[in-house]
Amino acid sequence: MKNYTEKSTSIDQKANILLVDDRPENLLALESVLASPSYHLISATSGEDALKHVLTEDFAVILLDVQMPGLDGFETAKLIKSRKKSEQTPIIFITAINQAIDHVKQGYNAGAIDYIFKPFHPETLKLKVEAFVKIHNYQEQIKFQSEVMKVIGETLSDTLITFNDKGMIQSANPTIIEMFGYTEKELIGNDIDKLVPNLFVNFFNQEESGKIIETIALRKDQSEFPADIQIGKASIEENRIYVCSIRDVTERKLMEEERFRKIFEATPCLVSLRSLQDWRYINVNKSWLTYSGYNDYEDIINQTSDFLKYILHSEEIGETVVEMAELEHPIQNERVSYLNKTGDLREGLLSTEVMELHGEKCLLSVITDITERVFMEKEMTRLDSLNLVGEMAAGIVHEVRNPLTTIRGFLQMAKDFPSEEHIDIMIEELDRAHNIITEFLTVSKTNPAKHRLKKLDDIIETLFPLIQAKAMYANKYIRLDLGQCPPLSLNEKEIRQLILNLSINGLEAMSAGGMLTIKTYCSDHEVILEVEDQGCGIKEEFIDQIGTPFFSTKVQGTGLGLSVCHSVVSRHNAKLDVRTSDQGTIFFVNFPLQEQVVKS
């Protein structure tokens, strides 16, 4: 590579110009005219001296006097041209005599490319020499690039092919023999598709210039191998030439396949690879065999039957039994159930991807088995339900025992001291126990209720006198801000209970003089109910427990009021949110405006 580097450097150096004349004054005149930072001027006083310089230097142009003692100009020119290294060096004859046509003809026969007669015009001489120097520089660059390309072509492991706009091969580097088994001579004039089937058509249809194309190449013996191909365009005059680089990636593909095989076998997911042509199994991993209940690969490979039955879970169409052929379009983490050989129904997340393996389209399917996780989630839900039932039962016992204890005490007193006042107290305690049981039944209500189109604003206006009376009794105020919202599918009795519970909670949270605001408005396809108080807010540690039965921050509270609200909101397919601070609390109930799906 050293020689090519030196050649590249020399292109940018000064151009050598040889001046040959037996008269020093003539040489001095030429040097004066041609003096330039771009030229290296070398003078010779005889033909013999000139030949010595030609043996050791390369010259862009030689200015040669005809009339010299010893070797004259014609003889010197013939000797220069007889040497291969200098045969292309341009020679300009400069002379003041023998201007006859036959003399000029003799000069051209000796190898001259131009003739200048003394006395010459300095500017004309300078322009001629400049032109020849430019031609010399261009030739040197072309030679250098040609040599570099030759070395690249000979040492490159990729095959380099040029072809024209009709797909006909123009040239190929020596690598073609090793990679394809053809010689360059065998391929010249043949279609590029002989090496890479359908390359020419696909290239022009898709305009893949500069991009790396993964494809299959064809050797002389008709064997195939994977290849990366890159094509570049070039124009020479009006002719378009394409340069195609072909790289054999067999080794890389084998490494990728080995890496894929290791991942394929090591993953705990169920992985299978099936042909999209006939749906035969190409491969399955060990986890697939384990979960599916099959023992041997031989029982599965090359079989076309669906060994696993899939049930696809979809929010739109529910559960659907599907065949693998229906899943050829890529999906990601779709919830499925699958039935294995032993009849066990297991749960999983299914992902599929279409890929190409050795020129064949395949479907890669991956199932992440979540059977154990689903079981644990169900078990946790069951245990949570049992825990909640226990907490509610304990709460009911505690809340009902208090009035029963009071009644028992007064009944014992009534044996000795009957009193109407005692009877009134016992009735109040029985009513209290009745209300607790009624509220609990409301919270746990599961029977469907009738819903009718009703305006939320009308229900609030109907309840307003009752809420206002309770507020005035405690020296508090009520403000309505109703937004004329459209009708909703509501159970009026339940919505009244919801509004009363939220309003009463807000009033009880405020001190005298506080303002309770009930507001309705529409936003983003929803009707929103806001109940805002000016109390001291709810402590952060209690926020998550709001709505839990029998949890209350009030001394006489049962904690069932907000539980009832949550149940009502859920049955109306709505959403209950809360925002609180030391300035007060706002409860938001968002009712969807679309066709409501009321939970039963």
Helix 101-109 vs helix 73-82: crossing angle, to nearest 10: 30
pLDDT at residue 597, as a whole number = 38
Confidence of residue 569 (pLDDT cuts 50, 70, 90): confident
Question: Which residues are registered as beta bridge partners of 589?
Answer: 529, 576
Q: Parallel, antiparallel, or unpaired for β 309-314 and 318-322? A: antiparallel
Residue 556 predicted with pLDDT over 60: no
DSSP structure class, residue 327: G
**Is there a contact between 117 and 104 (Cβ–Cβ < 8 Å)?**
no
Give dist(CA 106, CA 239) in Å, integer. Answer: 41
Q: Are 319 and 326 in contact (CB under 8 A)?
A: no
The distance between the two most distant Cα atoms of the chain, rounded to a whole number of Å, is 167
- 487 touches 553 (CB < 8 A): no
Rounded Cα–Cα distance for residues 49 and 28 (Å) = 17
pLDDT tens digit string along 153-188? 565 678 888 888 888 998 888 888 888 999 988 999
Is 60 exceeded by the pLDDT of residue 501? yes
The predicted pLDDT at position 366 comes to 92
Report field, pTM of the whole predicted structure over 0.85: no
Expressed in percent and rounded to 5, the helix, strand and coil fractions of the chain are 45, 25, 30
Domains of the chain: 2-151 (3.40.50.2300), 157-248 (3.30.450.20), 263-369 (3.30.450.20), 375-443 (1.10.287.130), 452-592 (3.30.565.10)
Cα Rg of the chain, angstroms? 50
- What is the rounded distance in angstroms from the CA atom of residue 584 to the CA atom of residue 582? 6
Average pLDDT of the chain?
80
Greater model confidence, 253 or 318:
253
Beta-carbon count within 10 A of 354 CB: 12
* 477 confidence band (pLDDT: 50, 70, 90): very high
DSSP 192: G
pLDDT of the residue at 297 = 86
Burial class of 447 by CB neighbour count within 10 A (0 to 12, 13 to 18, 19+): exposed
pLDDT in tens, 7-52: 444 445 788 999 999 889 888 988 888 898 889 999 999 989 999 9
Percentage above 70 pLDDT, the chain: 78
Higher-confidence residue of 403 and 278: namely: 278
Instruction: Say if residue 2's pLDDT is above 50.
Output: no
Q: How far is it, in rounded angstroms, from Cα 238 to Cα 389?
A: 89
pLDDT tens column, 231-271: 888 777 677 888 888 889 888 888 888 887 888 888 889 99
According to DSSP, residue 191 is labeled: B
Choose from 106-110, 222-226, 313-317 the range with maximum mean pLDDT: 222-226
Mean pLDDT of the region 96-118: 71
The two tokens of residue 32 are 């004066």
